[in-house]
């Protein structure tokens, strides 16, 4: 390391050096500029990592290899001219740097994972015809790497793939990267217009496009993959054509201004976290073709008032409607057999009827439902475990059948509880089942008359 010097903020690399070693200047905040001699052919891994005050660097055309994370977290580096014999831009090479635009030289054939992740000032990227491999998340879709999460590029407005590229294109000046053979849109931005020929919107394609307010999905699109529109904080409405058969997990997670969604009629599942934390969403109609609503699908949708559960759904998964504080009521269809843990945690429901079909209710399924006043459990539930804990407005519970087991916390901190209605002839069973402080609330209902 002694051969590298910094004088008055200027990095000095001796003439004749061929490789700038791994972590050569890492974490050196005194470095502001550097000129690399023509003898250098390789810049090592993390060579300038966390050189937060580096503003200027000259890389000669002798350099053919830049290793991963070489300029990661160079916050003040707003511009760089890449050498014309460079073969690849590797993983995290410029992640979380201050780059405003990047012009990839036409010698480059590969752009690695998270290469430009977290470049919050980046507005423009040009991809040459030579590039044949673009790895996942080149703009950093908030996936954790060995160097930590870098985040997306929220200000990106221009993405251009040069004509003549045989693997990728930006057909019709669409401001996106499209995989030509599959017609999959890999990366877009707030200025993207999705071409009619696109069939798939790829994983995290529009992740955190903060200025995207609306986008038209063409009729030919049949799949929207995981996280495609995650954290598009200005997105207000989206209409999904009936050609869409699959919407991936977390596709619209944290779209905090999304108020209007039209779901396609051919989907069969609402994947995990699809509308999680869509705080402005008030209503949604789930098609009757849907057979599964996965965990946290609507968790944190605090403005959601109206939602239907289709008759083919058999489970309400973990956290599905948790923190839906505006949802006063919901109908659970007879097709549902299981309600999993935290399914309605801290939701706004004021009454609930759990049908006979439900025989399994998970831990804390209705915990802290502050507005819940009435609960009816019609089925022979196998066990109730802290099910209604801290439902402080709960006044009346009605059992339509024998619950087989419960712990003492099922109605813990239900301070307003006045009546526990049980079927005729089951009061002894419930006296044994419930804690001593609740036994006086048991009321045995009259037997139903047989017709």
Find the helix or strand (DSSP H, E) in which 7 lies.
strand 5-7
Q: Which residues contact 289 (CB under 8 A, 6 or more apart)?
A: 265, 266, 267, 268, 310, 312
Domain coordinates in residue numbering, the chain: 350-451
E-strand stretches of 170-253: 177-179, 184-187, 200-201, 223-224, 237-239, 246-247
HSE toward the beta carbon, residue 442, CA cutoff 13 A: 21
Cα–Cα distances in Å, from 276 out to 12, 15, 281? Answer: 51, 56, 10
- The two tokens of residue 384 are 């109730």
Contact 415, 438 (CB under 8 A): no
pLDDT, residue 4, reads: 87
Give pLDDT < 70 ranges for the chain: 1-2, 141-151, 449-451
pLDDT, residue 7, reads: 93
pTM of the entire predicted model: 0.90
How many CB atoms are closer than 10 A to CB 125?
A: 26
Q: Phi, psi (5° rounding) for residue 427?
A: -60, -40
Q: What is the dihedral of CA 181, 187, 193, 195, to 10 degrees?
A: 10
pLDDT, residue 148, reads: 44
Cα–Cα distances in Å, from 152 out to 66, 118, 401, 431? Answer: 22, 5, 52, 57
Q: Which residues contact 146 (CB under 8 A, 6 or more apart)?
A: none
Task: Return d(Cα 2, Cα 36) in angstroms, integer.
Answer: 16
Provide DSSP, 383-421. Answer: -BSSTTTT-TT--EEEESS----B-TTTTTT-TT--EEE
Q: Which residues contact 239 (CB under 8 A, 6 or more apart)?
A: 216, 217, 261, 262
Contact 374, 395 (CB under 8 A): yes
Q: In what order do the strands lie in the sheet with 65-66?
A: 19-20, 42-43, 65-66
pLDDT, residue 430, reads: 94
The structure tokens 């839906």 sit at 324
Cα–Cα distances in Å, from 165 out to 126, 159, 180, 257, 413? Answer: 12, 14, 9, 37, 65
In this predicted model, what pLDDT tens digit does every residue of 283-312 receive, in sequence order?
999 999 999 999 999 999 999 999 999 999
pLDDT, residue 146, reads: 42
The length of the chain in residues reads 451
Long-range contacts for 248-255 (Cβ within 8 Å, ≥24 apart)? Answer: 248/203, 248/223, 248/224, 248/274, 249/273, 249/274, 249/294, 250/226, 250/274, 250/276, 251/224, 251/225, 251/226, 251/227, 252/278, 253/227, 253/277, 253/278, 254/230, 254/278, 255/229, 255/230, 255/231
pLDDT, residue 326, reads: 98
Q: Phi, psi (5° rounding) for residue 298?
A: -125, 15
């Amino acid at each position: 390391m002694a051969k590298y010097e910094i004088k008055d903020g200027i990095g000095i690399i001796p003439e004749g050096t061929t490789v700038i070693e791994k972590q050569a200047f890492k974490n050196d905040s005194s470095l502001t500029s550097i000129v690399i001699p023509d003898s250098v052919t390789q810049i090592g891994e993390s060579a300038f990592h966390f050189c937060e005050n580096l503003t200027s660097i000259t890389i000669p055309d002798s350099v053919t290899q830049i290793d991963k994370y070489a300029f990661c977290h160079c916050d003040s580096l707003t511009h760089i001219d890449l050498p014309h014999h460079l073969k690849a831009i590797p993983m995290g090479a410029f992640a979380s740097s201050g780059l405003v635009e990047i012009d990839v030289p036409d010698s480059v054939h590969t752009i690695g994972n998270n290469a430009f992740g977290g470049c919050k000032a980046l507005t423009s990227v040009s991809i040459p015809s030579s590039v044949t491999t673009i790895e996942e998340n080149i703009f950093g879709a908030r996936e954790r790497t060995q160097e930590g999460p870098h985040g997306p590029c929220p200000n990106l407005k221009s993405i251009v793939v040069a004509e003549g590229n045989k693997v990728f294109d930006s057909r019709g000046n669409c401001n996106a990267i499209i995989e030509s053979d599959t017609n999959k849109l890999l990366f877009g931005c707030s200025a993207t217009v999705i071409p009619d020929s696109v069939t798939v919107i790829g994983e995290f394609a529009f992740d955190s496009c903060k200025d995207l307010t609306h986008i038209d999905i063409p009729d030919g699109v049949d799949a929207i993959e995981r996280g495609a529109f995650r954290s598009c904080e200005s997105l207000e409405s989206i209409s999904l054509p009936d050609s869409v058969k699959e919407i991936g997990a977390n596709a619209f997670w944290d779209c905090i201004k999304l108020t209007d969604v039209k779901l396609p009629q051919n989907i069969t599942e609402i994947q995990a976290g699809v509308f999680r934390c869509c705080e402005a969403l008030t209503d949604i109609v789930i098609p009757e073709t849907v057979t599964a609503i996965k965990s946290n699908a609507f968790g944190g949708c605090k403005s959601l008032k109206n939602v239907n559960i289709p008759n083919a759904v058999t489970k309400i998964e973990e956290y599905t409607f948790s923190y839906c504080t505006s949802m006063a009521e919901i109908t659970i269809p007879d097709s549902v057999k299981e309600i999993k843990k935290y399914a309605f945690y801290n939701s706004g429901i004021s009454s609930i009827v759990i049908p006979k079909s439900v025989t399994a209710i998970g831990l804390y399924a209705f915990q802290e439902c502050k507005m819940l006043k009435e609960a009816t459990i019609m089925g022979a539930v196998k066990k109730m475990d802290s099910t209604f804990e801290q439902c402080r407005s709960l006044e009346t519970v009605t059992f339509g059948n024998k619950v087989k087991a419960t712990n003492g916390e099922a109605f813990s901190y239900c301070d307003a509880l006045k009546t526990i209605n049980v079927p005729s002839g089951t009061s002894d069973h419930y006296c044994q089942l419930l804690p001593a402080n609740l036994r006086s609330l048991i009321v045995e209902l009259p037997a139903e008359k047989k017709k």
